[in-house]
Structure 1
Amino acid sequence: MSAEITRRKFLATTATTAAAIAAASEASAFAPQAEPIRVGLIGCGGIMSSHVRRIVARGLPVEFTHLCDVDDHQPERRGIAKAISGFQKQEPQRTRNFEEVLEDKTVQAVIVATPHHQHAPIALPAMQAGKDIYLEKPGSHVFSEGPLYIAAAKKYNVVFQHGSQMRSSPVTESAGELLASGIIGEVKMTKAWNCQNREVRKPVADAKPPAGVDYDRWLGPAPERPFNENRFHQYWRVFRDYGNGDIGDDGIHDIDMARWGLGVTKHPNRITAHGSTIAKQGDRDYPDNMMVAFHYDDGKVLLYEDRLFTPYGYRGFDSGNTFYGTEGYMIFSRRGYYQVYLGAKEKEGPTVPREIRGGAGRGYDEHMDNFLKCVRTRETASCTPEIAHLSCSLVHLGEIAFRAQDVINFDPATETIQDNPAATKLLTKTYRAPYGLPDTI
């Protein structure tokens, strides 16, 4: 883990980094005449479509080498193939096998946007192959995968960018400057929330996989079972075999910002959780509400709450944070907003408007720019495997506390759960052969 640093230095460093990221998009690394970076795409779903469209729209010097997906129809279904066809002369190679992408020595970097359970079995070999990697959130499906990313990125000297885009957002930069000024005093507690009205599907019968789908490869390391529409595209997130529920889907963004605002650079030492299904019965593994509390050695507390049956948010936002200081508090949302409250008095950020709604405030462009710049310069990206692991671990520890229905006492130094063998088993999982992790890192 990274060494302890002061909160003001932590936030000031973050603000400086974000400013550098913004400047980087104008740097020579992105000049039109720059040699294109050869990038393979692994997992051609919705978020990959967003990445491709943004890169294409801004004319960044990228050459897409491969479109890799176990469903042959995804590149067309998501508009990725069409966007690329008007962007570059050479059509990307098509494959269902990510190994073909990694074996191509001309590929410099990969963007991985598969279901969560496939992240580690693809990302670790990618780093071993020397590929720089932009890995969508959450980078790990279970806790034990996080330390492997840290080790692999260091050993193979690759650029690693985790898909926590708010780390690169101008909203985060501006809010960080204000927090670093001490305007709300010392932040002692933060709360992340995720309020959505999620669809819950009724159970349907198993069926044959659709034509053009390598279903065995889609299952990958997950347990073998018949194809079911409810567990496939888009809906896999609510099943533990493939996803991490809402706490690991949208929730990870808000949890990451809660940890950033709290200024903690270690794991928590105690975790409690509660969840239930009170409104939405259906085909899913996760509850429709969850509340988790993470306690730290220095007495600070991070809270997470989701409510997945509400057509309304909180404080006007479906996803957001409250940073509670000794002299005031800040409402912060990755939707592009922050506001400070000091008693009855309000103050707004000093460098940019407090409200930057839409894509301009969510850091997508800046985060990808930072990754591509670092591929050229070999600098460290803005969301390292260490940062990613500290935030993703909260997803896993919160889920473990919920499943164990017990207080989880955790040793941050050894990354072990104390005196709870059943909960300890949930730090990892069994991988179905031959789709597991590399034998060695």
Structure 2
Amino acid sequence: MLSILPPSGKNVINTIPPELLAEIFLKLLQDDDRDLHESTRPLVSRACHSDPLLFGHVCSYWRGVALQTPQLWSRICILKPQKSQVLLTELWLKRAGTHALDLSIWATTSDAVDESAAGKIVSLFLQRRQYWKSVSFVITSPILKRLSDSNLSEESLQILQSASIWLSRERQESLDSEVALENVWKAIHACKTLTYVDWRTFYRHSLPNHCPWAQLTGITLSSTLDFSRLVNILTMAPKLKFLQAHSICASLPEDLIACSAITHHYLEVLDMALKNEAGHLFRLLTLPALQILKIRNGFQKNCLRDIHAFQGFLERSQAEPLTKFELSDLLIHEDDVQSYLRTQGLQKLTSLTLCARITDATLALLAQTDGAGRHEILPSLQYLSLSTGDLVQAADGMLSKMIVSRRQGNLKKVSFATRGMGPIDQSTLRRLREQGLDGEKKPGFI
């Protein structure tokens, strides 16, 4: 309970109870839609454009509340470390006190990074390692060595839950860097509170034998996995709720034959980039808790999509309705796109992101309604993102006609690049935004 009493006076901002004012401050520090790419001061996060230091500039009352709210200072993000950030980082850490810390640093090999400043900031972070709750470090080899030499241990990382540590651009080519990063991950994996890891490409040859698989709820990795290794991860991590794999390829036939089908009861989010058609993988998986599915097909050549395997996977996995589906597939036939959209397991979607070549036929399908005016395909859709421009080869007006149709239903937000749109679509979509339709404010979008 904060003990600050507002001063007597008629200024409304000085009469807000301190507990409520602290909640307002925290609300103002929520993430925005756009990431920042550089800053000369510490940030709350890459996506937060507000600064807790500003609260103290309004009046002494606000400053007192801000100083006695450690949570305001407990998230620190450093982009391109510079000398100007060192003292401010020390100040934020002091004000955070014993509150659990969410720390990130992006120290790449670019010229904008001051290696000395980066080292000092990491040293400040290390002094508070017992309060680390989440760390995300994109670092160079000298900074990694500082981490490795700091004797990280289960005892010093008492509350660590989430860790993402990787070398930027260097690709772990140095043997010394390989050893140093392995030592850091070995210490992190020993934490009994650890639930999420982001290895990127580090464990690209084999999975770590010291990983606490049984306690993990989230994994991100960029090293290439075949279908059988992905299934093995799901088998070893029975509590997993989130899995993001940036490179998945087909297994050798003998490995696939030896791989057993699996039902994983907790996985809610599956995000995968595929190098091969995934019909064999979908036949192995049953995911009854799945709510979000993201598929990026990066095939080097066109091939038939095994829609039946995908539909069978969803049919087996429908204990919980899938609410969000993202498909990026530049070589897919439009007939297959429509087969995806008609899939029974997708009909309760509230969010659809589609990056594929589509024409009037797919737009007409999305606009199609029954006699009662209810959309026959994806009737609950609230968010829709379609890549346009060269990917949409439709008559001018068809895109906006579909949006107008959806606007009469549940649609609340859209995202479309304007490149390639005709004047009818552009003017209609602009009018819809003026009428309150939410459109993402990104360059090139309505």
Normalised TM-score (structure 2): 0.27
Which of these two proteins has the greater Rg computed from alpha carbons? 2
